Amino acid sequence: MTITRRGVAFGVISTGVLGGCGSLPIADRANASADQRAGMRPNYDSLIDQYFAACNENQLQRLDAIFDPGMTLHRITGQTIAGREVFKTVIQSFHRAFPDLKWSALERIYAPNRAVVRYRFEGTHLGEFRGIQPSGRRVSFSACEVIALSDNGLVMDIWNYSDPGFLRAG
pLDDT tens, position by position, 78-134: 999 999 999 999 999 999 999 999 999 999 999 999 999 999 999 999 999 989 999
- pLDDT tens sequence across 31-83: 554 444 444 456 899 999 999 999 999 999 999 999 999 999 999 999 999 99
Q: Residue 84 — left, alpha, or beta (φ > 0 → left; ψ -120 to 50 → alpha)? A: alpha
Q: How far apart are CA 77 and CA 97, in angstroms?
A: 21
Q: Is pTM beyond 0.85 here? A: no
Structural domains in the chain, sorted by start: 10-15+35-161 (3.10.450.50)
